[in-house]
Structure 1
Amino acid sequence: MTEPSLNNDELTRQEIREFIERAIRENRVMLFMKGTPDQPRCGFSARVAAILSGLGVRYAAMDILPDPRIREELSALSGWPTIPQLFVDGELIGGCDIVTEMFESGELQELLGVDASANEGDDSARGQRTEPSPPAADTPSGPAARPIPLENNLRDD
């Protein structure tokens, strides 16, 4: 699959919306966040990215900050006002609180088809550092653990 790119300052809102819809449709696990998994610009976004990376889930991530229209169109599409937003199989799962609750209960692992027992005792999603903790987003723990980069070079010029 060719990785989509938002790199044209002349894109219309409709083109941005179509790009977002395609990203959700083409990526089983899609995270819209502030920043990137390697350089999150928000604690909530960092937490969701750490949970996904810690579970070894292959996911796509998109930074919504380069252009305010990305966030506006995403929220209009999802009906969810806050960032981050996690989609699985084309469905909105929710933001940081919901993802964290699902992770703690094992629901997220079940939804994603990963072994919940591999993360028992992991309090990193709750902000408490205990062993084992999820690997940092830049620490490979297998090919499935790396996020799929989606380039979006829109600028707020």
Structure 2
Amino acid sequence: MATSDRIRKLVTDNEIVVFMKGDPAAPKCGFSAGVVKVLDALERPYIGIDVLDDPFLREGIKEYSDWPTLPQVYVRGEFIGGCDIVRDMYASGELQALLAGANA
């Protein structure tokens, strides 16, 4: 399966997906840890994908989203952003509204 197909399947089969360095139990960069902190505070299940384990995935996710940095958060198949965007959305309540199904 092509890397872009793997990514598409992951983001469409799961409500919340974060492509990150490390995993939710042991993030390997501060930005990934910041996203995990926000997502854990939401108390919603999410999938954490460690891109350090797969160089094709690490580069493929950047091409898929046209976003150069990690982590990357997807909600219901849609790219939301990285650490700063997710933190800002959480602080404003926009992320909670998005997860509740409301228009943010």
TM normalised by structure 2 equals 0.91
Aligned residue in 1 for 2:15 = 28
Of 60, 76, 79, the match for 1:92: 79
Question: In the TM superposition, what is the alpha-carbon distance from 1:89 to its structure 2 partner?
Answer: 1.0
Question: In the TM superposition, what is the alpha-carbon distance from 1:76 to its structure 2 partner?
Answer: 0.7
Identity of aligned residues (%): 47
* Cα separation, 1, equivalents of 2:60 and 2:77: 16
Q: Deviations over 1:118-153 (max 9, x none)?
A: xxxxxxxxxxxxxxxxxxxxxxxxxxxxxxxxxxxx
Structure (1 or 2) with the greater strand fraction: 2
* Cα separation, 2, equivalents of 1:99 and 1:88: 11
Following TM superposition, where does structure 1 have runs of at least 4 consecutive aligned residues deviating by more than 4 angstroms? none
Of 82, 88, 95, the match for 1:101: 88
* Cα separation, 2, equivalents of 1:84 and 1:109: 19
Q: Deviations over 1:6-34 (max 9, x none)?
A: xxxxxxxx522211110001001111110
- 2:5 is the alignment partner of 1:41: no
Q: Deviations over 1:79-132 (max 9, x none)?
A: 011000000111100000100000111101111129xxxxxxxxxxxxxxxxxx
**CA RMSD, Structure 1 to Structure 2 (Å):** 1.3
Long gaps (5+) in structure 2: none
Name which one, 1 or 2, has greater alpha-carbon Rg: 1
Long gaps (5+) in structure 1: 1-13, 115-157
